[in-house]
Amino acid sequence: MYGRRASQLLKEVDSCEAGQLVPFNSDVFDQVIRECNEHNTQFQSLIRKMVEQNLDIETTRNDDHYGAAVHHLSLLRNKRCLMAYMYNRAEVIQSFRWKIGPVLPHEIQEKLHFSEKEYFKNHSAAIKSYMSEMDIDLTVDMVPPKDPYIQVRVLEDIGEVSLGDHSISLTKNSLHFLRRTDTEQFISQFWISDMELVRKHNQADSKQEW
Amino acid sequence: MSSWEDDDSAAAAAAAAAASTDVELLKRAWRNEKASPEILRFDSPLVSRVREQIQLLEETLDDFGESGVDDLVVSLYQMDLDRTLFLLRSYLRLRLQKIEKYMMHISKSEDLLSRLSQQEQRFAKSCTEMMEKHLEQSVLSKLPYGYDSVTRQSLSSTEDDMGIPFDLIIIPEPQLDTFVFCKTKSDVGAFQLDDIGEEVVDLVADDLYVLRYKSIKGLVESGQIDLI
């Protein structure tokens, strides 16, 4: 059936949890592209056939005309599906810049098409140039501040870090009470975690178990 | 508590004055932006005033650090600063994310573009170019000739292809007829919700409504109503 493969791509996007990404399906994607070109060849040959029979392609309504129309519309449908697939993925990818940061972890990189990687890089650069024009960092302060200080646990050995007027050694699994603004860059990189969030998370988990 | 406050007009006036500090104004702009489906006008004077105040607060805090003011006072000031900074960042971020979402729609319209700040306009422009480039090299360049336009479905498609304006639906646009929660600031009086005048609602001050965004758009822009 024409157009089934293209809709498969969209179903994949749709069945995925919001904000998540499935690996780029290059097999099906390429198949749909091939299908498009096949439609076009068929379309062109039908038109040629009509021209050879000296029929006016604008007004004639014979079998070949409707055949050509079916190929034309199937191609359009495939194009819409492909564009929607890419566009929806690109939306998720650009949201990663806000949620994760300018460098994507390996497991996400693997899921991307090469053009998507490039898009992410360019898009991050656009945000960066906006932030430097405005002279403000928009990637911190993602949640409303409650307290100027928070308790954090260090997840990876970070080593000596200078925070404002003093420096501090962040070794793995140590607990610290720090200024919230100093910690955000580490939190977004998953190097340290906010203990309040961890506790909330654990509570939610234990409730679920009950 | 609210009953005597209502009676006391002086207290109400004081509350109104307090509600119009720049931070409060920014909070209102932020809330409106958050609730509105489309991008609203950027208030550059307000943002630059807030930024000046943030700078002043930062300087005050530095002075406190040197002169050894009580830690509690310092942390209260810090808290205030943090909140204002969050508000500003979140406001700018919200706008960027809206631009990301509707970049092609915004870039097409002079009216929408004029609502953005200079920097946002540049951002919108580069975003659109990048998205077009991305779609171009991943999909369009592989399609047959005649079908490779971003905004038009095919070379032969006109305004109306098979009864559907194909070239219009491919660009995501904000849903303007979605419902929004809003609160009136002053009496508006009888307000017409549709074009033909069949639906009229009496908007009284300080009341909550759930209305279509499209119909109260003008009131949001003129500041007579707040989105919440």
Are B65 and B109 in a shared domain? no
Cα distance between residue A12 and residue A138, in whole Å: 32
DSSP E strand stretches across chain B: 179-184, 189-192, 200-203, 208-212, 225-227
Query: Which residue, B101, B129, B155, sits at the end of a domain?
Result: B101
* Model pLDDT, residue A202: 66
CB atoms B144 and A144 under 8 Å:
no
CB atoms A33 and B143 under 8 Å:
yes
Are A39 and A123 in a shared domain? yes
Helix (H) / strand (E) element for B160: namely none
Give the model's confidence band at B167: pLDDT under 50 very low, under 70 low, under 90 confident, else very high: very low
Q: List, as ranges, residues 19-78 from B with C-beta within 8 Å of A.
A: 51, 75, 78
Q: Do residues B107 and B113 lie in contact, with contact meaning Cβ atoms separated by under 8 Å?
A: yes
Residue B197, SS3 per DSSP: coil
* Interface predicted TM-score (ipTM): 0.73
The b-or-e profile of B85-107 (16+ CB within 10 A means b, else e) is: bbbbbbbbbbbbebbbbbbbbbb
| Count of the separate structural domains present in chain A | 2
- What mean pLDDT is predicted for residues A143-157? 77
Are A31 and A74 in a shared domain? yes
Q: Do residues A164 and A182 lie in contact, with contact meaning Cβ atoms separated by under 8 Å?
A: yes
Are A129 and A156 in a shared domain? no
CB atoms A136 and B147 under 8 Å:
no
Are A106 and A161 in a shared domain? no
How far is CA A22 from its chain centroid?
A: 9
On whether the pTM is more than 0.80, the answer is no
Query: At A61, which CATH number?
Result: 1.20.58.1030
- What mean pLDDT is predicted for residues B133-162? 67
CB atoms A79 and B147 under 8 Å:
yes
Instruction: Give how far B14 is from chain A: nearest CA, Å.
Output: 27
Residue with tokens 């951002």: B123
- What mean pLDDT is predicted for residues A13-24? 82
Residue A192, SS3 per DSSP: strand
Q: Write out pLDDT tens, residues B78-131.
A: 888 888 888 888 889 889 888 888 888 888 888 888 888 888 888 888 888 888
Are B121 and B165 in a shared domain? yes
- What mean pLDDT is predicted for residues B132-154? 75
Q: Do residues B207 and B188 lie in contact, with contact meaning Cβ atoms separated by under 8 Å?
A: no
Q: Do residues B180 and B36 lie in contact, with contact meaning Cβ atoms separated by under 8 Å?
A: yes
Query: Which residue, B173, B195, B212, sits at the end of a domain?
Result: B173
* Model pLDDT, residue B162: 42
A34-43, A149-158, B80-89: segment of lowest average pLDDT? A149-158
Query: At A189, which CATH number?
Result: 3.40.5
What is the domain extent for residue B67?
Answer: 20-101
What is the domain extent for residue A201?
Answer: 149-209
Are A154 and A128 in a shared domain? no
Instruction: Give how far B73 is from chain A: nearest CA, Å.
Output: 12
Give the model's confidence band at A162: pLDDT under 50 very low, under 70 low, under 90 confident, else very high: confident
Instruction: Give how far B130 is from chain A: nearest CA, Å.
Output: 7
Q: Is residue A141 part of a domain?
A: no
* Model pLDDT, residue B78: 83
Query: Which residue, A75, A105, A134, sits at the end of a domain?
Result: A134
Are A112 and A15 in a shared domain? yes
Are A90 and A159 in a shared domain? no
The half-sphere exposure of B161 on its side-chain side, counting CA atoms within 13 A, is 18
Nearest to B100 among A86, A94, A141 (CB): A94
Compute how many other C-beta atoms are within 10 angstroms of the C-beta atom of residue A132: 11
Cα distance between residue B130 and residue A97, in whole Å: 15
